[in-house]
A and B are shown apart, each in its own frame.
Chain A
Amino acid sequence: MKSLVFLEHYHGQLEKGGLGVLSKAASLGEASGVVLGEGAGELAERAGAYGATTVYVSETAGLSAPLPQPRVDALAALVERTSPDVVLFGASVLASDVAAGLAARLEAGLNWDLTDLVLDGDELVGTRPALGDTVLVDVGWTGAPRLALVRAGTFDPVETGGTAAVESFDVEPSDFSTLAELVEQTQEESSGPSIEEADVIVAGGRGLGSPEAFALCEQLASALGGAVGATRAVVDAGWYPYSTQVGQTGKTVSPKLYVACGISGAIQHKVGMQGSGTIVAINRDPNAPIFDFADLAVVGDLHRIVPRLTELVRGRRSG
């Protein structure tokens, strides 16, 4: 199975999501990577350590802004040249747009939200938890190239220490691909550790009752050595910064421990954190949907439980 993996980068670093998918692809056969945009050349070689034999790079001017359509042009050209059996993406806002555009361009099958990829003889089979994870579907493709978006946080990058050949290529953008232009970019920086890298996240929702109550999450997060996350509802209400938002809009996280405080567990939130190792949910409402997928479901008042839990964690750590 010959794969091509789309490797995203941000602030001079290859994103973990793409590297995890690359490691998985390398376990299924020959894997190549593609890095696009400014600085791609410098980053390309590093993908060798995660199993890529060749990394294709293009720094064509149209690829500087993080916009999907010129990337569809680039990938379409690369697929035509290298004929991969499968093109893989770690899910993100940008990658989803690129994968979908490429599917339309090549009239190729795209399966999304995959949590595993296995070979059944010569055939690639994807695993997709569907309908709010109530059913597990084995999905396939009718022909090559097979396109797949892998659920964020599914595969961990595995360093194997190889080296990759780096090959540059030129992209001729389609006339419509460069019509959308980036005019401004704002990055919200949150204080404290980034929620994408954190092993522990303590997240708060509307059940906190007030923006001040986020202090409870912050204290517990600090005791556990983790970061603070938030739901869309509370970010929209201005209680907490957008950079901490977990969900379909916002970040997708997969920490070892996710503590949900006063979060109902709407599907938009769930898709952003369902890859977490252990989910502890504290909510007053015994019927909150989050209890359907929490590992430890605690029905009770978070305003009483969280401060006491924080003290107990601190006590254990210092003791």
Chain B
Amino acid sequence: MAANPFILQLVNSLAALLLLLSFAMLAQRRVVTLVNLLAVQGAILCAATLLLAWRTGESHLYVSAALTLGLKVIVLPWLLHRLIRRLGVYWDTDTLLNTSGTMLVGLLVVVFAFGLAQPISALASTATRSAIGIAVAVILLAFLTMITRRKAMSQVVGFLSMENGLFFGAMSATYGMPMIVELGVALDVLVAMLVLGVFFFQIREQFDSLDLEHLDSLEEET
């Protein structure tokens, strides 16, 4: 494993881009753009995985790069776009916090994430360990996206972005999980999206909208 500072720098810049995209997703109100951002995030993840695979010569990283490309850049965004068109949800303007407020909370979350990642980076022996903080930040920002959004579709995008963060964390700390686990996780994500597709149509059939405000009647006293 020859030290190649250039490639390492490249991976680190890709990591920074991932973080930037997370912030963009946090602010974005157009659902279609949100899905596109998710696809770009997937593409960056795929590029980072490829670079690492080339640098470390670990063949299973090529497989997971291919998985990322297939699933997160092509299949899932395509499925989501189709759903958006069929269901006609284009905007998610009604958030819990306004954009600047969300951004400020997001900044705090990033600081917290780097603190959280400290012991993990100290333990990891990979060259990319400095990126672990970014991975944790991506996970937490995606979580924040899910909390602040009302539309089911944006929550799902947040969920998938969280998955991206987890994947990036595993990659930068250990050069990826064992193959069998990665395949299983990918399968679960795919099935989850299919279930969701079915589910969205059921919600729409009932409520004529994908606004989660309708899903607010099961309170404690009922």
- Tell whether A and B belong to one assembly: no
